[in-house]
Amino acid sequence: MATLGLSETDKQSLEDFRRDVIEPSRTSLVIVDFWAEWCGPCKQLAPVIEKVCADYAPKGVRLVKVNVDENGFIASQFRVQSIPTVYAVFQGQPVADLTQARTEGQLKQMLDQILGQLPIESDEKAQAQEIAPVIAAGEEALAAGDATQALALFDQAASIAPDEPQVISGQARALTALGQLDEAEAVIDAVPAELGKDAAIERARAALSIARAAKPFADLSGLEARLAADPDDHAAYLELAGGHMANGNRDAAADVLLESIRRDRAWNEGAAKAQLLTLLEAVGLEDPWAGTQRRRLSAILFS
């Protein structure tokens, strides 16, 4: 923006805009709200945009309000013809017009789309990078059967990011593996409502569900004999699968459940399929093993 011929007031307005918007926008997403005291719709929108921007501050979002009566030159540069007008600015350039977003949900949806496309620097991203190696180490410890070490690692991550779903999930799954089921349930129950449906939390919930239902068996030969005598004893299939899961043999559990589904997928309202899906969710749907079992299930269902 050229300053030649500008009044001292406009020059000061431009300098303030550079300081408050242009410079921060080099790394942050700056939301510029053009408004005026006499504008009723502006006052209605203000609480919404202020709350959302405050909520998204850890994601690298800042809010700057520009009074068009006091900053006419800035408003003209942005071709503001009516108010409220709201722009998202990154690296000195408008990247989105948010004016039509009048509710929290609409504004958050638009911001999520923008943040997913731009290299915004934020405390949230820096925090995620810091705890990523700790989470990975915790998952490795769990996979290796060292739930005590896993819990220590997830607790360490929680001291940095207590509301991160992967961290909460890791804590709950480690507690479940240690047999501390009530403690694991308490961790899951304490999850904020907005995170309750996160895939990581669902995974922890599935692992706890399996642990609650499973009963360890030292000898599963009795159940195997029942199935040898009656291959359509689906209750025995489910009990045998539960025994295998409790004993940590997920391959055998999946085999048993898939055989039950192959013989009668509708038995007891699809109980075997439901138990298999719970097992896959507990393992993690992104796990290669889970992917293999899903393909086996699809082959049965669509054959």
Which is it for strands 29-35 and 93-97: parallel, antiparallel or unpaired? unpaired
Length of the chain: 303
Catalytically active residues are 39, 42
What DSSP string describes 180-232?
Answer: -HHHHHHHHHTS-GGGTT-HHHHHHHHHHHHHHH----S--HHHHHHHHH-TT
- Of 124, 121, 137, 7, nearest in space to 55 by CA: 124
Which SS3 state, helix, strand or coil, does residue 176 take? helix
Within its chain, how far is the Cα of 139 from the centroid? 17
The residues with which 85 forms a beta bridge, in sequence order, are 34
Q: How far is CA 145 from CA 152, 169, 202, 234, in A?
A: 14, 16, 21, 30
Q: 52-58, long-range: CB within 8 Å, 24+ apart, which pairs?
A: 52/104, 52/107, 52/108, 52/111, 55/108, 56/108, 56/111, 56/115, 58/122, 58/123, 58/124
Q: How far, in Å, CA of 79 to CA of 84, rounded?
A: 13
CB atoms near residue 285 (< 10 Å): 15
CB atoms near residue 36 (< 10 Å): 15
Check residue 58 and report its DSSP letter.
G
